[in-house]
Structure 1
Amino acid sequence: MSLALDERQRAMLAEMGIKLWAPIAPRVAEVAPEKVAARAGETSAGAEFDSKPTPTASLQTPAEAPIVRPPVRAIAAPLPTAPAAPVPTALGPRPEGVADMDWPQLEATVAACRACGLCAGRTQTVFGVGSRTADWMVIGEAPGENEDCQGQPFVGQAGKLLDNMLAAIGLSRQVGDTMNSVASGGDSVRADGPKDSKQGVYIANVLKCRPPGNRNPQPDEIAQCEPYLRRQVALVQPKIILAMGRFAVQSLLQTTEPIGKLRGRVHHYEGVPVIVTYHPAYLLPALPEKAKAWQDLCLAMATVRGG
């Protein structure tokens, strides 16, 4: 129960030191009459379309909630795709009748051969070069990168060394540019006039295609190419074969013995004498071994003369 006091009673109580506590009435915001009328109109108009009660707005508008966006992922640029490697033609058997082919047939057959996987990576086959009626035949191992590009065996620095070795005994892969050697003195002089093709030399490899990365030949690859080489030997009919390099030597002689144990004596392949020596590529950095290679050449010359 609240007491209503007038001004005089309030003054008397104040003199006595008594403080009066009066309830504080809530403050009502003053609103202009025209705004009150406008809000009343909005309320009555909205009721015609929505019968739901409108919730009372809070005195303080809450802060807007932050918008949470998913993290943006960096999209990696697509890696460049390498061009698709050409699909090699399926391998096939080696053509029959190699033993009866002439030179044009044999060369065409080798160029089209797909009997082993080496055909997939070659630029071209390396058939052979030189005089096809020569007394001397040089047989190497397998084409390298330079041979694969040029289509000839023994090119580059190793080929230059081989040409010098042949020139020292009066031979050349170029039939029209042979060097006649004076065997007694060992000096070489250029002979003018027509050249006998027997002063030439025929050069071939055990393999006709380059192994990838110049790796060593595989036994099955050598086996597929062996009939081609055998036919080349039969067509040339040389008096001597100079086998250069481990794989050439072991393929021709069907042995696993190292060159060091096979040097210094005469072997045979298809009835033809074979002299074993080092590959020119091996001799390039191995200067002391060049003297041994010269000994092998001298043995080959003595074998030809004795035959």
Structure 2
Amino acid sequence: MRSEEQPSLFDLSKVGESTPGVNFQADLIPKNAKIPIPAGTYQTMTEMAADCNRCHRCDLGDNRTHAVIGRGNISSDVMIVGEGPGQNEDETGLPFVGKAGQLLEKILASVGIDSDRDVYICNAVKCRPPENRVPTSEEIAACRPYLLEQIRIVDPKIILLSGATAARSLLNEKRGITKIRGLWIEWEGRLTMPILHPAYLLRNPSKERGSPKWLMWQDIQAVRAKLDEIRANCKLANG
């Protein structure tokens, strides 16, 4: 049964850091964003990270400190796709490490989902847009092949699309995030759910019924229930 009572999950606590281990390798990649990167190009995230840190398929590569690839379990059932890196992410090379990321950790933990063990976290756009502006359609398109490769490597059963840019990148969704959040949408045989971005929740502190934080609490409970259902069905299928 889903509860409408929210636990104290919006007080921020320090999130542990992990260190990316990427040895950059010279490798040819299409510099023209109109030329796709073929599926199966990368066998590991490390290989892809090396190319992303050399990538100039759009102008965002000109000013980045690090391309931000991902963190978490690359064999997890749940994948979370954010919009794009901010300053903290650009500096560390890791997604969701600022206040929004700390809030995401709390939200996941509230339903027993561990960000290191149970999910893989990445962004639709791998390099920070100037002044944290919304990525352009061209920038989203340039990075989409990398996102598709990440999905292929992780092979998640559930993909959470955090924010409008993430939903547009994968689903080509034109509706606003408030119109589609909490909906299960099938994509390529996988379940996806658009959710509100944690940064939006930080700007809307109310926890009253119908508020963004209240809606997120409903959505994350639905995700937990669906994950439990999928795992139970897999267990039955495997005897």
Q: TM-score range by the shorter chain?
A: 0.7 to 0.9
Equivalent residue number for residue 131 of structure 1? 73
What SS does the aligned partner of 1:207 have? Answer: coil
What SS does the aligned partner of 2:203 have? Answer: coil
Aligned partners of 2:181 and 2:196 also within 8 Å = no
| Map 1:126-205 → 2, pairs under 5 A | 126-175=68-117, 200-205=118-123
Query: Deviation digits for residues 157-177 of structure 1, max 9, x if unmatched?
Result: 1111000011112222233xx
Residue 273 in 1 paired to residue 215 in 2? no
Equivalent residue number for residue 31 of structure 2? 92
Superposition RMSD on alpha carbons, in Å?
1.7
Residue 102 in 1 paired to residue 43 in 2? yes
Equivalent residue number for residue 181 of structure 2? 263
Query: Deviation digits for residues 52-110 of structure 1, max 9, x if unmatched?
Result: xxxxxxxxxxxxxxxxxxxxxxxxxxxxxxxxxxxxxxx93368445331113222221
Give me the whole-angstrom Cα distance separating, in 2, the residues matched to 1:275 and 1:162: 15
Which of residues 114, 129, 138 in structure 2 aligns to 1:211?
129
Give me the whole-angstrom Cα distance separating, in 1, the residues matched to 2:102 and 2:191: 25
Equivalent residue number for residue 14 of structure 2? none
Give me the whole-angstrom Cα distance separating, in 1, the residues matched to 2:225 and 2:162: 18
Give me the whole-angstrom Cα distance separating, in 1, the residues matched to 2:49 and 2:39: 10
Aligned partners of 1:140 and 1:204 also within 8 Å = yes
Q: Which amino acid aligns with 2:190?
A: V
Equivalent residue number for residue 183 of structure 1? none
Aligned partners of 2:177 and 2:194 also within 8 Å = yes
Equivalent residue number for residue 60 of structure 1? none
Quickly say closer, same or farther: Cα 1:276–1:96, change in 2 above 3 A.
closer
Query: Deviation digits for residues 191-238 of structure 1, max 9, x if unmatched?
Result: xxxxxxxxx210000000001111110001100100100110111111
Aligned partners of 1:98 and 1:228 also within 8 Å = no
Quickly say closer, same or farther: Cα 1:145–1:291, change in 2 above 3 A.
same
Which of residues 42, 57, 63 in structure 2 aligns to 1:115?
57
What SS does the aligned partner of 2:125 have? Answer: coil
Q: Which amino acid aligns with 1:147?
A: E
Residue 228 in 1 paired to residue 228 in 2? no
Residue 298 in 1 paired to residue 237 in 2? no
% identical equivalent positions: 41
Aligned partners of 1:142 and 1:206 also within 8 Å = yes
Equivalent residue number for residue 72 of structure 1? none
The structure having more radius of gyration, on CA atoms, is: 1
| TM-score scaled by length of structure 1 | 0.60
Query: Deviation digits for residues 218-261 of structure 1, max 9, x if unmatched?
Result: 00110010010011011111111111111111222112101222
What SS does the aligned partner of 1:257 have? Answer: coil
Give me the whole-angstrom Cα distance separating, in 2, the residues matched to 1:160 and 1:219: 28
Equivalent residue number for residue 20 of structure 1? none
What SS does the aligned partner of 1:99 have? Answer: coil
Query: Deviation digits for residues 112-160 of structure 1, max 9, x if unmatched?
Result: 1111100011111000000000111111000011110111111111111
Equivalent residue number for residue 240 of structure 1? 158
Give me the whole-angstrom Cα distance separating, in 2, the residues matched to 1:99 and 1:219: 24
Give me the whole-angstrom Cα distance separating, in 2, the residues matched to 1:166 and 1:122: 29
Quickly say closer, same or farther: Cα 1:131–1:99, change in 2 above 3 A.
same
Give me the whole-angstrom Cα distance separating, in 1, the residues matched to 2:182 and 2:80: 17
Unmatched tracts of structure 1, length 5 or more: 1-90, 176-199
Give me the whole-angstrom Cα distance separating, in 2, the residues matched to 1:111 and 1:98: 19
| TM-score scaled by length of structure 2 | 0.76
